[in-house]
Structure 1
Amino acid sequence: MSSESLQRAQPAPAICRRTILAALGAAGATAALTACGGSDDSSSGSSGSSEPSGSTGSGGGEALAKTSEIPEGGGKVFADQKVVVTQPTAGEFKAFSTTCPHQKQQVNAVDNGLITCPAHGSQFSVTDGSVEKGPATSALAAANITVEGDSITLA
């Protein structure tokens, strides 16, 4: 065999496994940092009023609203925090995830005692998050809040 045919028969140099792992690690770190980045957007409620969304209450969680901002028999969606806070009866406050269990869309309204998902019209009770109208078949997940005085804090 000639030296020319030997050169053609040699495989192309392989990419080093360390190079691939290093590239994937750098890409993963960039993605993780991007995903963990915060937002300066302080709008969070469906009513358009401003909440103290960057402050913390004495419980260490994020302050959501004053109790006076949550209507009796209704509630308010805090889209940035992915929580809806309701007041089924005077002085009783509940919180639920805004993620609809049907297809993981976000509920966006509270009206007439019902929390509504705009995607397919599922409706949930402000009292316990249970399904009032499908297609969802399971309740909204409960969320933890703390009410101290007139302040509602995400726990």
Structure 2
Amino acid sequence: MSSESLQPAPALCRRTVLAALGGAGLAAALTACGGSDDSSSGTSSNSSSDASTGSAGGTALAKTTDIPEGGGKVFADQSVVVTQPTAGEFKAFSTVCPHQQQRVNSVDNGLITCPAHGSQFSVADGAVKKGPATSGLTAANIKVSGDSITLA
């Protein structure tokens, strides 16, 4: 046997271990930011059980009473957030943040928030209220009929 094969394996240095752990933590954080369907706000929901096929052929999202005035609700499976800026006025926007195409996931205090980098958008028109996003959310088509809200 050669003397090389009898050498003990080199010990891991502290810097190597910390770098590996840091990379794993970063990967976990990026995965959580990019694909999270969890909501940090009580006023939004991402439950797929909220949606079904409506009688008009669109996807039924919610009852009008499910959308809080001045707030909204996120429907992750349908990639749409529905808001009620003022009583009886309903708006809808894509959940795709224009900054880096991450998904907004909460609506609180009149703002729709992207968890990836903190961009915030108005519930009234989807306009940027806080960057880094430089453009607003894309409007989505919904239909309000009686007390039912469906994707158009």
Question: How does the TM-score come out when normalised to structure 2?
Answer: 0.69
Q: Contact (CA 8 Å) 1:63, 1:152: kept in 2 or not?
A: yes
Distance in 1 between residues matched to 2:60 and 2:147, nearest whole Å = 11
Q: Contact (CA 8 Å) 2:47, 2:75: kept in 1 or not?
A: no
Question: How far did 1:112 drift?
Answer: 0.0
Q: What is aligned with 1:47?
A: 45
Q: Contact (CA 8 Å) 2:44, 2:73: kept in 1 or not?
A: yes
Question: How far did 1:131 drift?
Answer: 0.1
Point out 4+ residue stretches in structure 1 off by more than 6 angstroms. none
Q: Deviations over 1:112-146 (max 9, x none)?
A: 00000000000000000000000000000000000
Q: What is aligned with 1:126?
A: 123
1:76 equivalent among 36, 57, 73: 73
The 5-angstrom pairing of residues 80-119 of structure 1 reads: 80-119=77-116
Q: What is the number of residues matched between the two proteins?
A: 112
Gap change, CA 1:93 and 1:120, over 3 Å in 2: same
Q: What is aligned with 2:145?
A: 148
Structure 1 gaps, min length 5: 1-44
- Aligned sequence identity (%): 77
Q: Give 1:75's aligned amino acid.
A: G
1:57 equivalent among 55, 58, 65: 55
Q: Contact (CA 8 Å) 2:62, 2:148: kept in 1 or not?
A: yes
CA RMSD of superposed structures (Å): 2.1
Q: Contact (CA 8 Å) 2:46, 2:75: kept in 1 or not?
A: no
Gap change, CA 1:52 and 1:108, over 3 Å in 2: closer
